[in-house]
Structure 1
Amino acid sequence: MSTDLIPGLRFDRYTAAQARGIRDTVESVYRHAYVDQIAAGDSFVAPEAFMRRFDAYTDPHAGRFELVVGSIEGEPVGQAWGWPLASNSRWWANLALGEGDRAAFVAENGMRTFALSEIMVCKEFAGRGIARALHDELLGGRPEQRATLLVEPDNVRAYTSYINWGWRRVGTLKPSWPDAPTLHVLIRDLKSES
């Protein structure tokens, strides 16, 4: 998707160390994107729990984290981030693969799979194509063979978008984070995008 369709949208990229430097911005975008879920009181989506996960993702020893922040007229309106899965990654630890050889599927070398961990748009900017633009900006030109993400099965809007953007379901996974739900695992081939 061209950002020309979203007037004024620009992207800034951050490494893990740089992302820690804009921690307040990351939390603000999260709070504006998950207003309803936070208000519902689910402990997994509480801002404090989310920021603990963010701190773990951006740990200097965690790998090659990359954050993309989308802004319009200097105001952050959304963000997406992820990282390539290393050979010792715990990402697949609780994977229930739908079909195929599990050992072959989860074999990582740091260049096989990019984990798209988060994509979010501030509620007041939702429905304008910003999520797709963030998605394409983060994944565009990635050197990995494929990307993976986790989605709540009842998040119909996001799930439908991912399927329309070329993702397919391969199984389920319950992350090791406290109070994490069981999520669907989606995969998307990146070879044609490099």
Structure 2
Amino acid sequence: MLDSYRLYKTTNWKSYTDIVSTIKKEVVETEPMKVGRAVHHIKEGLGTEKYGMVLIDGYIFRGIEKEDKKYISELKITPKIQTPYGNCIISMVADAIYGNEIKEYKTTQSPIDIGRYMEYYQWRCYLWGFCAEKIIYEVMEINQCKDGIWKVKNTEKISLCPYIGMEEDIRLLVEDMIAFCHSQGLQNYILE
């Protein structure tokens, strides 16, 4: 939700209606979201493998393999961050954790823009909340071929580490979002 709010504040394409829907948790799952979820399932070792392809959630993929490391998947935590409005709970679910390293799987149907991922607050929150030393975004550019099979066109691994002032950056964005919610009568949607 923080990144949606950041995009609303910093871009022209994230509308007021979009951010209100996100805050109210009324976001409708899109086809790219469904495809991305299927890729997550493959990375977790789910799906039926046959002829070098994986069938899952009604999609067929080629070129995506499950993680080979031992890891904890889909671990949810809810740390609190202090704001002038009181303690704020930030809910987060890591795709994969290996010791003190986090891995997040991302899919895109456009060319990979590394700068876009570096601007995210998700990685900052995860490094802070999980007290991790590093997060790796494994970004897969995927496309659907004429035969209906989804293939990986390109993969980039983006490593990000904590920095001094990171928690303060998170807190400032959280405070700004809470103030926005209060000003729009949306505060009940962000309270746990």
Please tell me the TM-score bracket, short chain as reference: 0.3 to 0.5
Larger RCO (CA within 8 A; separation ≥ 6): 1
TM-score scaled by structure 1? 0.32
Task: Indicate the structure (1 or 2) with the bigger Cα radius of gyration.
Answer: 2
TM-score scaled by structure 2? 0.32
Bigger strand fraction: 2
